[in-house]
Structure 1
Amino acid sequence: MSERWARAMLTAYRLAGAAAYPLVGGYIAWRTTKGKEERTRRRERYGISKVARPPGPLVWVHAASVGESNAVIPLVRRIAGFGINVVFTTGTVTSAHLVREKFGDKVLHQYVPLDLKPAVSRFLDHWKPDLAIIAESEIWPMTILELGTRRVPQVLVNGRLSDRSFAAWKKRSFIAEALFENLSHVVAQSELDGERFRALGARPVSVSGNLKVDTDPPAVDEDALRRMQFEIGGRPVWAAISTHKGEEEIAADVHELVKKRHPELLTIVVPRHPDRADTLAAAFSGRGLKTVRRSLGGHVGPETDILLGDTIGEMGLYLRLTEIAFVGRSMTSEGGQNPLEPAMLETAILSGRNVQNFRDSYQKLIERGGARLVGDRDMLAGAVNFLLCNEAKRRQMMHAGVETVNEMRGALPATLKALEPYIYPLIVKARLEDGGRKNR
């Protein structure tokens, strides 16, 4: 009965999507006005491409945004290195720029089609993928069902299920089973994630660790770094990165509290969404804090209180300017943000307690002494002050973070091993077809 009910629900989802398809143009147009879509590439969201499918085997890799894209870039590089064509889809403009920056024309980039049958079918008709690789928690029902109907193997890599997502799927376990039975393999980030996918009906499930650990540290413009370091000089610095609404106000409070002990203190605030920068700059200035916005090319002077990191793709710069970083979405919001990048760059990590989405990473960092959780503004101010005053403890946390990341590495080879049964036949096919073309 539950299986029939799941089929009925998914059929209803398919029909509702088909009915809504003619109406989504307004939504895409609105996103374009907000800079969330590229005007000249909007048709890709409907599964329409100007790019021809290349001959030979092709793997479709999908990652939602910048974080997920960064995680699978080494994996995509390896697959493309085997001579297999890759079409890499993402859902955001920033992640599209990242893919182009990392791969140029070596990998085809497209915006992911809307999870509506006409768009997904058109995309699959055009690209005809031999394998689909989905990153983390991108569970799109229509896409999964259409791939399943076409007998295209689909593998979820770096699989993750947050507490909230798992609870939601558990309430609809019959639907989860009907979807997850289409997955050929789930490669989970942690044992807990693996258990959750198994509980929802996924088979087989293996555990690789987090692919984000096997990425390179965020890059930096060395000239910009030298200029910023010269401007800052020997001032004490701490940073609040990937902050969400309410956490910037906490960072300003902490700045005012800690400045009483460290009069030359500079605070770097890097909001998760830079489009909030106008509001944040006005709020800081309203408190009498002298604020410099990175996006406007301002210079940090001796009187600067806040460096507002309102640019995209410069996290490597901001983290190299400090030895102490509070990682946001953990105090006023839930879930946390990725602590691995600051750990890679030898940063003492502070965080609120709401880090459910990165539980495994934080657990390992805390056990090794690379991170510390704080409960509120006053505890954060106390921790920042303590680390600024205690170089030995700060250095200990910084080194512990790097050591933890090094111990966690190995997700990429484990993921490649899980993918081997699906990738190897494509390698053989690519070599045979390439040999055939050369002999003509």
Structure 2
Amino acid sequence: MTPFPLSRAFAGLTGRNRASDKPQADAPGARPPGPLIWVHVAGDCTAETLHHLALDLSGHQPATLLVTGLAPQGPVEAEDAVLMFLPAPETSRGSLRRFLAAWLPDAALWLGPPQPSALLSAAAAACPTTLVVAREESLSGVDRGTRAALRLVTELWACDGGAVRAARAAGVGTTRIRHSARLAAPPAPPPCIESDREDLAERLAARPVWLAARPLPAELADVLAAHRAALSIAHRAVLLLLPGPGCPPDDALARDLAAAGFSTASRAAGKEPSDNTEIYIADRDAPEEDGLWFRLAPLCFLGGTLLPGGPVQPAAPAAALGSAICFGPHGGTEDAAMARLAAVGAARALAGGAGLPAAVSELLAPDRAAELAAAAWTEMSEGAEAIARLATHLATQLETRGAI
């Protein structure tokens, strides 16, 4: 087997079910030339995060990342990054011995809780090993085997104060603990056509603007109540309404909004917002324009979050493009990302739809929206900076061992 970039890794791993088709973790002669870092994912981590780590590492010296414990879920452009995705070895002594003999890692990176401890111990006994722990819970109630593995770890990177305290309680010496921001690849902002943005920005100049991004039909009443509250304090406020799944077609939606007393215009119908437009209906069938709406709106409500079970608008595009964010109590798969933003003051979490009018009225104030948007950008950028620092640390380990 030769090393393959990430974009090829998906074809090699995600589409096959027969055991004979799977690359073997301990296959003899499979190791590519050059430095190799064994990365084991035992907790939350995405292929995008590892891709960014590999790219940052290539700025020092290209190295192969041999990744176990994570099956990539979709294609990511590889550029100069070299990642190999394999099943984790079994924890028997024979399997671990064959794995290490086949791959000869120069360094190891463990992401998540330190279990299974036999696997972590094998990595740490074979080469310098860095353990990254995101949460305090990952180190709570460690057993004897885990404590033994932690004694072998070269450094432990803790992503919050609770994890630092738990590491000390587990017997990790202070000199081996480093406080780090959470590792997170920066989201790629959705693009937009700049001429369209300039034109709409000019038409909406000096008007308070907010975006309801893909609200569900059952959420529209709360969205409209919020816009009425906004108009009561800023009579020229404009709602950019990007309808979510199940909402009426634009012509029917425009009629419903008019019947509710709102002046509307629809982009899909070729209309532009006028001075009198109170709600501008974005074209739901043009997802390539998402970046346009997030750039125009200093405030964004994430649709699908007021009621359980429906599709949810992700927070990353709004956060990456400088929009303040508010969302309801049902984030679904986005729960963790939204909770992180709320915890650092980068988003407003609502208990339900009844809280949306007050939130919109408050956050339409430019200084309040800017405050949340700046905190969101800091949260996003700190994750990227943590990846860069980790890449430098790993490069130093490789250089110390003479691998580069």
Unaligned runs of 5+ in 1: 1-31, 242-246, 270-279, 291-298, 431-440
Are the counterparts in 2 of residues 266 and 306 from structure 1 also a CA contact under 8 Å?
no
Amino acid at match of 1:110: M
Counterpart secondary structure, 1:429:
coil
Structure-to-structure mapping, 1:115-194, within 5 angstroms: 116-117=90-91, 124-136=100-112, 139-141=115-117, 143-148=119-124, 151-157=126-132, 159-161=133-135, 165-166=137-138, 170-171=140-141, 173-174=143-144, 176-194=146-164
User: Alpha carbons of 1:74 and 1:107: their partners in 2 closer, same or farther (altered >3 Å)?
Assistant: closer
The answer to whether the 8 A contact 2:44-2:112 is kept is no
Deviation sequence 1:121-179 (CA, Å, 0-9, x none): 7654543211111335585556424424x62332123x3016xx44xx63454454355
Q: Residue 372 of structure 1 corresponds to which residue in structure 2?
A: 348
Give the aligned partner of residue 320 of structure 1: 295
- Counterparts of 1:181-260 in structure 2 under 5 Å? 181-203=151-173, 204-212=176-184, 216=186, 218-223=188-193, 234=204, 236-239=209-212, 251-258=219-226, 260=228
- Paired with 2:304 and 2:91, the residues of 1 have a C-alpha distance of 34
Structure 1 residues 221-259: Cα deviation after superposition (integer angstroms, max 9, x where no partner) = 444x76688799859442559xxxxx9677545334335
Identity %: 19
* Distance in structure 2 (CA, Å) of the matches to 1:384 and 1:81: 43
- Please list the CA deviations of residues 176-202 of structure 1 after superposition, one character each: whole Å capped at 9, or x if unmatched: 435534533211222222222333444
Unaligned runs of 5+ in 2: 1-9, 232-236, 255-266, 272-279
Tell me the equivalent position of 1:411: 386
Kept after mapping to 1: 8 A contact 2:60/2:395 = no
Q: Distance in 1 between matches of 2:287 and 2:145?
A: 41
Alignment partner for residue 32 of structure 2, among 54, 57, 67? Answer: 54
Give the TM-score, by structure 1 length.
0.58
RMSD between superposed Cα atoms in Å = 5.2
Q: 1:395 Cα shift?
A: 3.8
TM-aligned CA distance change 1:356 to 1:205, over 3 Å: farther
Residues 282-332 of structure 1, C-alpha deviation per residue, up to 9 Å, x if partnerless?
4x459x869xxxxxxxx8456847848989xx9867743543235699877
Contact between 1:218 and 1:315, CA under 8 Å: does it hold in 2?
Answer: no
- What CA distance in whole angstroms lies between the structure 2 residues aligned with 1:197 and 1:338? 33
Amino acid at match of 2:397: Y
Q: How many residues align?
A: 349
Question: Secondary structure of 1:281's match?
Answer: coil
The TM-score, its normalising length taken from structure 2, stands at 0.62
When Rg is computed on C-alpha atoms for both structures, the one with the higher figure is 2
CA, structure 1 residues 324+131, in 2 after alignment: closer, same or farther (shift >3 Å)?
A: same
CA distance in 1 between counterparts of 2:135 and 2:121 reads 20
What is the alpha-carbon distance in structure 1 between the residues aligned to residue 119 and residue 303 of structure 2?
A: 32
- Code of the residue aligned with 1:56 in structure 2: it is G
Is the 8 Å Cα contact of residues 57 and 391 (structure 2) preserved in structure 1? no
Shift of 1:47: 2.8
Alpha-carbon distance in structure 2 between the residues aligned to 1:108 and 1:410? 21
| Residues 59 and 133 in structure 1, CA contact (< 8 A), matched pair in contact too | yes
Q: Distance in 2 between matches of 1:176 and 1:329?
A: 41
Higher helix share: 1
